[in-house]
Copies of this chain bind each other. A is one copy, B any other.
């Protein structure tokens, strides 16, 4: 954990001087790396989290140990634990992990509360963040029961691939995102490869035929 300047706070640069002063007074910039979880179910949340750099992954762990990604938090977005713990007494039910080297701005609860009351723009950001998350979760929930695994995998590939069509992710990770096992992912991948949609490598998947994948999603 490192406390440093807040110059890189992204969306927060637009705040008024008043807001920024509060931030300067109390906020911390926290650095985190991939392996260890940052937050665990039931853990106490000390403030509002804003992702500055990198990406956080919010996931659940089933009783049998398999993981499934609920959603991601990208730079400029808020973590909703904060909001859950600041405005509600619900225990937070998921795990959080940094995907890569990630910087998170941690704004202490009292400071954020004050900000929220004073600054309409903060109210707006907050409600918008929550609202967006609700939307994402609904989409995810809909996807889970409306689409089969091959379609969801195709979707994952298309969404997370770089512009060059490369996806730096192990099959184990993909399985975790989809809430399934590596073997199933491998099986589906073999199919995709056979159809010429993708090429697989160690830790990388290259998309060769995005149209094909997209078509798979449209009509099974």
Contacts and interface: CB of A to CB of B under 8 A. Distances in A.
A93 B88 CA distance: 26
A141 B140 contact: yes
A142 B90 contact: no
A80 B145 CA distance: 22
A145 B90 contact: no
A135 to B, nearest CB: 5
B132 A88 contact: yes
A84 B128 CA distance: 8
Given A131-B130, A134-B134, A142 B87 contact: no
Interface string A135-155: 101111110111000000000
A134 B68 CA distance: 17
Contacts of A124: 87
Interface-centre pick from A130, A137, A139, A140 (highest chain B CB count, 10 A): A130
A126 interface: yes
Given A126-B127, A140-B141, A135 B62 contact: no
A139 B137 CA distance: 10
A130 B141 contact: no
Contacts of A146: 60, 62-64, 66, 68
10 contacts: A60-B146, A62-B146, A70-B142, A87-B127, A87-B131, A88-B131, A93-B135, A130-B130, A130-B134, A141-B144
Given A94-B142, A130-B130, 8 more contacts: A66-B145, A83-B131, A88-B127, A88-B131, A93-B142, A117-B123, A127-B127, A133-B134
In the complex, the 8 A-B pairs of residues with the closest C-beta atoms, listed nearest first = A62-B146, A145-B179, A137-B137, A130-B130, A60-B142, A88-B131, A87-B127, A68-B145
